[in-house]
Structure 1
Amino acid sequence: MIPTAFDYVRPDGVEEALALLAGTPGARVLAGGQSLLPGLRTGEAVPGGGPVRLLVDVTRLEGLRGAVRTPAGLRIGALTTLAELAADPLVLSEAPELAAAARANGDPQVRNLGTVGGNLAAPGRATDLPVAALAADALVELAAPGGRSTRTAEEFTATGPPPDTLITALLVPAAGAAGAFEKTADRATRYPVCAVAVRITRHGPRIAVTGATARAVRLHGVEELLRGREAYPTQEVLAAFRAQPRELFVPGRGTSAEYLGHLAGVLTARALTRALAAWTALG
């Protein structure tokens, strides 16, 4: 039973959906519903805050599903499910950290319903996809009444989606790179206690972490300390993490900042080892 009264509409196009969101106080986007519906059922806070007056079901909007290669890289539609993302051959070959993050998310039922856009924008708790998007240096494509725009994944994870916008795609730049993802999950919820995504390019490693931090973040300080190395021994990676400010890691669920910093370092060392092997194989 859902104890909240609201209206429901399924628009035929992106412009209609945007008009409904902009013109209806309390309107919310319904895609996979993995964050929204539990809040409606329990009466707890839902994404966006305030009462829900209208659900705008975007699940049948055209052109927002699947991954395609473009001259700039991969374009992954926001309505692509996590299960589809995890199994897509293009994503597996060109952005394996994204596929692995999708595969690590929840259980099969969650992955069959949850979407790329919903996972990127999910409020309140750490999810797996944003950290992989950060490591991939991806862009989030947004539709607003005034047109389309993009934000870097780093900016998007810091601010969230602007009001009255729709996430339409995740854009992964074309570049010779190798990536990997590692996660320690809460056994009950499958949310990450700590999840790490890395990508190795000719410019050095990109490293992002979530769960152990207040939100998904790029670890530019760690990247700088490891730049120019041909290998990433665990002890050197751990030393780079110990050099980071302790307040970066947020204790919770019986963990300390020191433990989470160490765990993030261990997971990063594992991910870098795997990514380096893939990078070497690329020649």
Structure 2
Amino acid sequence: MILTDFDYVRPAGLDEALTLLSGTRGARLLAGGQTLLPALRTGEIVLDPAGGPLLVDIRHVDELRGIEDGPGGGLRIGALTTLAELAAHPRVLAGAPELAAAARANGDPQVRNLGTVGGNLAATGRATDLPVAAVAADALVELAGPGGRSTVPAEEFAATGAPAGSVVTALLAPAGGPAAAFEKTADRATRYPVCATAVRITSGGPRIAVTGATPRALRLRGVEDRLGGGPYTTDAVLAAFRAEPRELFVPGRGTSAEYLGHLAGVLTARALARAVQAVA
């Protein structure tokens, strides 16, 4: 399908981008383009002709790039950081390995070289890899909008998305050390997760999040409470998942809720074993 006509603007900075977004109904951000451009070609996303179809290209807004020190000794990961950069960065590998693993599992090298942290977090309509790792890491999503800058927990952002006229500027991830991991079963055709899990083991117990099998990236506090401080054996993890309500898991693509609940348990058991081994 050929794209319909639209206007294109490349703002020099974030403030200009925010002005364009707030002043044009239905304007869309263009960053990596790995979700937006295919969706425009297939008609999954239609630019609003009444508002004046507009793509706002923020790929050259340098203030949205880079990985640097964040609050409390954590990491501030700019929204335009590519997934390839995130997957290979030494500080991310050391302090937030679940984020690096989720980025590495995303698509193929071409997708990772263009796809961005902000775009992966903000993707709607299908599960992506990075949000579940951000939830397990207890990360915050930093936003900029007409009212200024704000942060929201990654789990809340997965449910609500970015408010109209706002831009994801960064992911703020607490540094947690090597005791974290990510596991995924992917759809063979699209590489999107059928089910993906991310874990981070803390002094208070594990943080566990699931996506693909659930309506969105969710932290499973019931499973966390049942596992407590361990040991995180496969049998214990599967029992903790069997106690979760089946309606939590959303069947699709020929899979049942029962199957997805079991798959989420298996992947979580693997992730916990890897996280424990990383600090053994």
- Could you say which TM-score interval applies, normalised by the shorter chain? over 0.9
User: Within 1, Cα distance between the matches of 2:43 and 2:211?
Assistant: 27
Q: Report how far residue 228 of structure 1 moved.
A: 2.1
Instruction: Give 1:269's aligned amino acid.
Output: A
Code of the residue aligned with 1:7 in structure 2: it is: D
Cα deviation digits, residues 1-21 of structure 1 (max 9, x gap): 633111000001111000000
User: In the aligned structure 2, how far is the partner of 1:131 from the partner of 1:156?
Assistant: 11
Alpha-carbon distance, 1:43 to partner? 2.1
Q: Mapping of 1:253-264 within 5 angstroms?
A: 253-264=253-264
| Greater CA drift, 67-76 or 215-224 | 67-76
- What is residue 187 of structure 2 aligned with on the other side? 186
The alpha carbon displacement at 1:279 in A equals 3.3
Q: Give CA deviations for 1:228-263 in whole Å, capped at 9, x if unaligned.
A: 22x211011000000001001111111111000000
Q: Which residue of 1 aligns with 2:98?
A: 97
TM-score (norm 1): 0.95
Amino acid at match of 1:257: A
Q: Report the Cα distance in structure 1 between the residues aligned to 2:176 and 2:33, rounded to whole angstroms.
A: 33
Which residue pairs with 1:126 in the alignment? 127
Unaligned runs of 5+ in 1: none
Q: Is the 8 A contact 2:70 2:172 kept in 1?
A: no
8 Å CA contact 1:78–1:168 kept in 2: the answer is yes
Q: Distance in 2 between matches of 1:101 and 1:50?
A: 33
Equivalence for 1:56: 56
Alignment correspondent of 1:172: 173
CA distance 1:175–1:100, change in 2 (3 Å):
closer
1:153-232 equivalent positions in 2, closer than 5 A: 153-176=154-177, 178-229=179-230, 231-232=231-232
Equivalent residues of 1:177, 1:201 under 8 A apart: no
Q: How many residues are paired up?
A: 277
Quote the Cα distance in structure 1 between the aligned partners of 2:97 and 2:183.
Answer: 12
2: distance between equivalents of 1:154 and 1:177? 22
Query: 1: distance between equivalents of 2:241 and 2:48?
Result: 39
| Residue type at the aligned position of 2:273 | T
| d(CA) in 1 for partners of 2:100, 2:186 | 17
AA aligned to 1:261 is G
Aligned residue for 1:182, secondary structure, equals: strand
Q: Take 1:23 and 1:125, find their aligned partners in 2: how far apart are those partners? A: 28
Distance 2:163 2:275 in 1: 34
Deviation per CA, 1:155-181: give whole Å up to 9, x if none. Answer: 100111111000000001234562100
Aligned to 2:2: 2
1:14 alignment partner AA: L
- Once the 2 structures are TM-superposed, how far is the Cα of residue 146 of structure 1 from its aligned partner? 1.9
Which deviates further from its counterpart, 166-175 or 19-28?
A: 166-175
Contact 1:212 1:261 in 2 (8 A): yes
TM-score normalised per structure 2: 0.96
Deviation track 1:25-44 (CA, whole Å, cap 9, x = no partner) reads 12100000111101211222
1:76 and 2:73 correspond? no
Cα offsets for 1:20-65 (capped at 9, x unmatched)? 000011210000011110121122235xx75571000000102211
Instruction: Give the Cα separation in 2 of the matches to 1:3 and 1:85.
Output: 31
Structure 1 residue 134: Cα displacement: 0.2
Q: Counterpart of 1:115?
A: 116
Superposed structure 1 runs of 4+ greater than 4 Å apart = 49-52
1:94 Cα deviation (Å)?
0.5
Q: Is the 8 A contact 2:94 2:177 kept in 1?
A: no
Moved more, 174-183 or 27-36: 174-183
Deviates more, 1:237-246 or 1:172-181: 172-181
Cα distance in 2 for partners of 1:71, 1:41 equals 40
Match of 1:236 in 2: 236
Q: Deviations over 1:134-158 (max 9, x none)?
A: 0000000000122110000011001
Q: Does the CA contact (< 8 Å) of 2:77 and 2:171 recur in 1? A: yes
Any gaps of 5 or more consecutive residues in structure 2?
Answer: none
Q: Shift of residue 277 of structure 1?
A: 1.7
The equivalences for 1:271-282 within 5 A come to 271-280=271-280
Residue 251 of structure 1 is matched in structure 2 by 251
Aligned partners of 1:113 and 1:177: how far apart in 2?
Answer: 27
